[in-house]
Amino acid sequence: MNLATSSTGPVRATMDDVARHSGVSLKSVSRVINGEPHVSATLRAKVEAAIAELKYVPDAAARSLAGSRTFIIGLLLDNPSPNYTMKVQKGVYDAVRAHQYHLRIDNVDSSVPDDEFSAQLEALVRNSRCDGFVLTPPLSDNLLLLDFLDQSGIRYVRIAPALEKSRGSGIVIDDAAAAAAMARHLWDLGHRRYAIMRGPTAHMAAARRRDGFIEELKRLGLEHPVIEIDAGFSFEGGIRAGDSLLASGLRPTAIFAGNDDSAAGVMAACSKAGLKVPDDISVCGFDDSWIARSVWPYLTTVYQPIEEMGHAAASLLLRRDEPESALHRLDFHLVVRDSTAPPPQA
């Protein structure tokens, strides 16, 4: 069997068939399909009827050869977290399909030296002709990539950008406000001794979460300093940070981790140390990723609308009437589950 000639399925109708069938010119069919102005209602109706009857579907290859669009949106991926990535991907997919576009995936590896990275990008853009790219973190803040796309005149939308936010369009949530909300939750439960597990230093959103958390606690009147430890964004990082925190003898009653993975690690460290969550100590995360419901007790966290962010990013790319650059802020909300509770009575 041969790849090339294997499609022996029913013959697809062409635009010519539609034109003949509805008694109008080829170009008029084209106009209807592309929603161009200056088409009478009568003609449109005729053509649409013919399209429906013949089950006509425009040929993407011919369209992109003749026109200048490819009807493909590229999703640029370089994120280690499968949960996050899949959610973004789902959102982008839905938006793209709703516009009759297709989703193309492209992975890049930004952990290589700059020149190699540039070579990757060049190859990618040369090969993968797309009408636009959705950039996921950490790519959203990769200046080399942004420069390259700008210079090539390729449209893009950034998900959760932190640096140079005026470049391209971006979809964000207010990390600081979200962290502040978590701070209030813990404060209201009665906690007064806190630790925070910082995310990766390169991750700007993580820094904003930290700042928002600490600011809010100060505003609420916290006296003790907040203990800070680097934990990264991984389970291993969380467990390590948790181990060393608990070994140090410091005993916060609540720990805020930079994301759900590290929070899960912290919880593991607590149970290793014989502390029960949430009775002895409260732990909370950020993202409401899938792992938040794959640990026991279920994790209190901040819901980030990741799928919606992907959807919004793709939609932005597909709206031709969009301004050059804009930052769209989406809503988060607190998800209180079982890993936070009032502190133990001293």
Partner DNA sequence: CAGAGGAATGTCAGCGTTGTCAAGGATATC
Partner DNA sequence: GATATCCTTGACAACGCTGACATTCCTCTG
Where does this chain bind DNA (CB under 7 A)?
Answer: 4, 12, 14-16, 24-28, 30-31, 33-34, 37-40, 42-43, 56-59, 62-63, 65-68
Asked if 91 and 80 count as a contact pair (C-beta separation under 8 A), the reply is: no
64 binds a second copy (CB under 8 A): yes
Q: How far is the CB of 111 from a second copy (least distance, A)?
A: 15
Dist CA 239 CA 258 (whole Å)? 13
Q: Residue 327: name its binding partner from DNA, a second copy, none (Cβ under 5 to 8 Å by kind).
A: none
Out of 35, 115, 320, 346, the residue judged to bind a second copy by CB under 8 A: 320
Q: How far apart are CA 231 and CA 327, in angstroms?
A: 29
Binding string, 29-58, against a second copy, x = CB under 8 A?
A: --------------------------x-x-
Nearer to DNA, 24 or 205 (CB): 24
Measured in residues, the chain has a length of 346
Question: Rule CB under 8 A: is residue 82 a binding residue for a second copy?
Answer: yes
Q: Cα separation of 106 and 327, whole Å?
A: 24
CA-based nearest residue to 308, from 326, 333, 284: 333
Q: Which of residues 221-250 bind a second copy (CB under 8 A)?
A: 235-236, 239
Pick between residue 23 and residue 244 the one whose CB is nearest to a second copy.
244
68 binds a second copy (CB under 8 A): yes
State which residue, 24 or 266, has the beta carbon closest to DNA: 24
Q: Where are the beta strands (DSSP E) in the chain?
A: 72-77, 102-107, 132-135, 156-159, 169-173, 194-198, 227-230, 254-257, 282-284, 301-303, 327-330, 333-335
Q: What is the secondary structure of 31-60 as a DSSP string? A: HHHTT-SS--HHHHHHHHHHHHHHT----H
Sign of the alpha-carbon torsion through 167, 172, 176, 177? positive
Shortest Cβ 6–a second copy spacing (Å): 6
Nearer Cβ to DNA (65/105): 65
- Our CB check for a second copy shows the closer of 2 and 345 to be 2
Among 22, 28, 30, 89, binds a second copy (CB under 8 A): 89
CA distances from 147 to 78, 119, 151, 156, 218 (A): 17, 14, 6, 11, 39
For a second copy, the closer of residues 176 and 239 by Cβ is 239
Find the largest Cα–Cα distance for the chain. Answer: 86
DSSP state letters, 189-207: HT---EEEEE--TT-HHHH
Interface contacts to a second copy, rule CB under 8 A: 1-9, 12, 55, 57, 59-62, 64-65, 67-70, 82-83, 85-87, 89-90, 93, 100, 102-107, 125-129, 131-132, 151-155, 235-236, 239, 261, 264-265, 268-269, 271-272, 290-291, 293-296, 317-318, 320, 322, 324
